[in-house]
């Protein structure tokens, strides 16, 4: 049973992993903040209402 589950995961994940290797997989970005606004970024992250990544730029 466990082997079947692993095989199913491998088959399902293969296309996603291939895109990641090619660099064509782009996660959605919900917001981007400068490092000076780290507190705002943390505030937004803690609300857990965003969809996508919260990026903090140096």
pLDDT of residue 1: 56
Tell me whether residue 28 is exposed, middle or buried, using C-beta atoms within 10 angstroms of its C-beta: 0 to 12, 13 to 18, 19 or more: exposed
Q: What is the pLDDT of residue 4?
A: 85
Q: Please report the pLDDT score of residue 31 as a whole number.
A: 94
Q: What is the pLDDT of residue 42?
A: 95
Tell me the backbone φ, ψ of residue 54, rounded to 5 degrees. Answer: -105, 120
Residue among 39, 42, 35 at smallest CA distance from 58: 35
pTM score of the predicted model = 0.57
pLDDT digits (tens, 9 = 90+) for 4-46: 888 899 899 999 999 989 999 888 999 999 999 999 999 999 9
């Amino acid at each position: 049973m466990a082997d079947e589950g692993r095989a199913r995961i491998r088959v399902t994940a293969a296309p996603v992993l291939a895109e990641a290797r090619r660099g064509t997989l782009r996660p959605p970005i919900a917001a981007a903040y400068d490092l000076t606004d780290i507190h705002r970024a943390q505030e937004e992250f803690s609300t857990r209402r965003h969809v996508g990544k919260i990026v903090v730029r140096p």
